[in-house]
Chain A
Amino acid sequence: MIRVAVQHRLGSFDLNAQFESDGRVTALFGRSGSGKTSLVNAIGGLIRPACAHISLDGEILVDTEQRVFVAKHRRRVAYVFQDARLFPHLTVRQNLLYGRWFTPPAKRFGQLAQVVELLGIGHLLQRRPRNLSGGEKQRVAIGRALLASPRLLIMDEPLASLDEARKAEILPYLERLYDETKVPTIYVSHSVLEVARLADTLVVMAEGRVEATGPTADVMARLDLPPFTDLIEAGAVLEAEILKHDDSFGLTVLSLCGSRLWVPRLDRHRVGAKVRVHIRARDVMLSTRPPDRLSALNVLRGTIAEIGPQRGPIRDVRLDCSGQAILARITRRSVESLHLTEGTTVYAVIKAVGLDRQTFGAASRHANGADTTAIPI
C-alpha cells in the first residue's frame, strides 16, 4: 500500500497531488508536463518536496511535518528511467548486480539467473552498455532495478524513448515481469495502450493534480476525463476469457459480456485464460437493430448508460454490456438520427481487425491476485 500526498513548486509549475494505491501495477497517466515525473521523483527521493507525506506499506518515507526524509539509498525504491542510465564503465553483468551489492543479504530476493532468463538478456552479460540497442538497454535497466530487491519499482516512461518495434519487443517482457514477480510497481506513462495493457490501478494526472484514481477499467470507462477522452486511443478495458483458438481462420474466440468475440489469433494465451481487451471507442459502431450480413464479426448487445458531452461533431457513448463498459465514439448526427438516449438498447459492432495484438494484455493483476500465478522471484 502506497500513500502519497505531495505539494511542491517547480518554477511556475505547481504540483499538488494525492493518491493511494494497493495495486500491483499502478499507472500514473497524463500528458507530458502534467507532473508525473515530479511526483515519482518525490516518491523515489530524487527531489525534496516542500510539503509531503509519503508512506510505503505503513513506513513513512517523507513527512515534512515530522521532519522525516529517508534518503533515496535507504528507501529501497528502485527506478527504471526513460533513458536507461546504465553505468558505461561496467559490463551488463556488473550493472545488473550493482544494486544487489548494496542490499543486505536478508532482504535480497531473486537470482541473477532468473532475472536474466525473465528478460532474455543472457547473451548480453559480458557486453558494455554502449554496444546495446535501446530495447536491450531498457531490459538491462529493468533487470538492474529488480535485482536491487526493491519494495517498490518506479518505471518512468520506460518505453517512451523507443520506436514502435522496440516497444512491441519489450511489452511482453513487462507483462511477464508483472505476472511473475510481486514487486508493486508505479508505471508512469502517457500512452493509453501501455496503461490499458499493463496497469490494474490508474491515477490520472493533469496540470499537477490528480484527476481520478481507481481500477483501470473503471477509470477508462469514464467520459469526463479530458486526458483520456481527447486521445484517439481512448476506449474501454474489458476482461474476457479465451474459449478456443480457430486455426482454419487464424482467429481466437473470446467470451465477453455473454457474447462471443472473434479476434486475430492470440498465440501466447491458453484456452481458459483470462485476457484484458482494450477496445478503442473509435473502433465501435452502434446499431439500434441486430445487424446482419456485416463483415464485422463481433456484435455485443448492451444498453446506453451515458452519453458524454459533445466535443465538436463527436460524442462518446458508454454502453453497459452485462456489467462491463464499452465506449463508442460516434458523431453527434448519429446520436440524433438514431434517437439514442440513456437506456436505449443498442448493438455494438466491433471490427475484429481493430483488435490487434497491441490491445491485449494478460489477465487482471491484483496485489493478492488469486487468478494469476504469482511466483516470487
Chain B
Amino acid sequence: MFTLTPEEKTALELSLRVALWATVASLPPGLLIAMVLSRGKFWGKSILNGIVFLPLVLPPVVTGYLLLLLFGQHGPLGAFLADNFGIVFAFRWTGAALACAVMGFPLLVRALQLSIDAIDRGLEDAAGTLGASPGWVFVTVTLPLILPGIIAGTILSFARAMGEFGATITFVSNIPGETQTLPTAIYTFTQVPGGEFAAFRLTAIAVVVSMSALLASEAIGGIVGHRIGVEA
C-alpha cells in the first residue's frame, strides 16, 4: 500500500491548493481579457495581447524576478497591497499561487479566446431580438457556448500551475510547508545525497495527479460537448 509521508502530504496539499487558487482566481480576469481581445477594437490591443502572452515566451525565472520586483515586500504593488489590504505575497503560498496564475494565464486566455472566436455571433443577435439584454445574452448564450473552452483553459492552467517551478522558486523561494510545492520539493531531494528515492516517489505522485486532471477534463469535455451539440 502506497502511503504518503507527512512531508509528501504537505507538498501535495500545498501544490493542489496553490494550483486550485491560481486557476479559480485567474478565470474571471481571463474571461474578461479574452472577451476584450476577441471582440474589442481599440488602440493598443496588440500591446495588451503582448503583455498577456509575455510569460509564455519569457524564461520563468525572469517572470518570477519581475513578480519579486513588483509584488515583493518593497515592490510598489506589494507594499501598496500590504499597507491597504493586508495582502502579502512575498514568501507566502499566496505568492506561489500568484506566480502560477501569471504563468498559466496565457494558456487560459488563449483557450477562451479561441472558443469565443468560434461562436456564431448570429446566435447572440438572435437572443437580442428575442428581448435579452447584452448581460443576459452573455449569461444565457455566450457562456454556455464557450463552456468547452472554459474547461480546456482551466485544465491547462491547472496543469501548468501543478508543474510551475522557475517563477515560483524565484519569487517566493522554497520554504517547506509554505511555498514548497511538488516540483520544488523534487528539486530539493535531487540536490541532497540519497534523496533519489524520495524524488522518485514525488515524481510518481505528480504523474498520477496530472494524469487524473487530464482524464477528468476529457470526461467533462465530452459530456459538455454532447450537451451543447458541439462534437468534442
Q: Which residues of A are interface residues toward B (Cβ below 8 A)?
A: 44-46, 71-79, 81, 83, 85, 87-89, 98-99, 102-103, 128-130, 144-145, 148, 154
Contacts and interface: CB of A to CB of B under 8 A. Distances in A.
Interface in B127-170: 127-134, 136-137, 140-141, 144-145
Given A85-B123, A88-B228, A89-B227, A78 B129 contact: yes
Contact of B141 (A72, A81, A87): A87
B228 A45 contact: no
A256 to B, nearest CB: 41
A148 B131 contact: yes
B127 A98 contact: yes
Interface of B: 120, 122-123, 125-134, 136-137, 140-141, 144-145, 227-230
A102 B131 contact: yes
Nearest to A99: B130
Nearest to A128: B229
Given A85-B123, A88-B228, A128-B229, A79 B129 contact: yes
Point out which of B131, B141, B230 has the most chain A C-beta atoms below 10 A from its C-beta. Answer: B131
Given A73-B130, A85-B120, 9 more contacts: A44-B129, A73-B131, A85-B123, A89-B229, A99-B130, A99-B131, A102-B133, A128-B229, A148-B131
A87 B125 CA distance: 11
Point out which of A71, A77, A87 has the most chain B C-beta atoms below 10 A from its C-beta. Answer: A87
17 contacts: A71-B133, A73-B130, A73-B132, A74-B131, A75-B129, A76-B131, A79-B125, A79-B126, A85-B120, A85-B123, A85-B126, A88-B229, A88-B230, A89-B227, A102-B130, A102-B132, A130-B229
B131 A87 contact: no
Nearest to A72: B128
Given A83-B122, A87-B141, A103 B229 contact: no
Contacts of A102: 130-133, 136
Given A85-B120, A89-B145, A46 B129 contact: yes
Point out which of A44, A45, A46, A88 has the most chain B C-beta atoms below 10 A from its C-beta. Answer: A88
A81 B136 contact: no
B141 to A, nearest CB: 6
Contacts of B123: 85, 87-88
A128 to B, nearest CB: 6
A145 B230 contact: no
A99 B128 CA distance: 9
Contacts of A74: 131
Point out which of B122, B128, B136, B144 has the most chain A C-beta atoms below 10 A from its C-beta. Answer: B128
A91 B92 CA distance: 48
Nearest to B120: A85
Contacts of B126: 79, 81, 85, 87
Contacts of B129: 44-46, 72-73, 75, 77-79, 145, 148, 154
B130 A46 contact: no
Given A81-B122, A98-B127, A73 B229 contact: no
Point out which of B126, B128, B141, B228 has the most chain A C-beta atoms below 10 A from its C-beta. Answer: B126
B34 to A, nearest CB: 19
B91 to A, nearest CB: 45
Nearest to A130: B229
Given A46-B125, A102-B136, A128-B229, A89 B130 contact: no
A128 B144 CA distance: 15
A72 B227 CA distance: 29
A73 to B, nearest CB: 5
B104 to A, nearest CB: 27
Nearest to A41: B125
Contact of B122 (A85, A130, A148, A154): A85
A154 B129 CA distance: 10
A81 B130 CA distance: 12
B43 to A, nearest CB: 21
Q: Nearest 8 A-B pairs (CB), nearest first? A: A102-B131, A99-B130, A89-B228, A88-B229, A85-B126, A79-B129, A130-B229, A89-B144
Contacts of B130: 73, 78, 98-99, 102, 144-145, 148
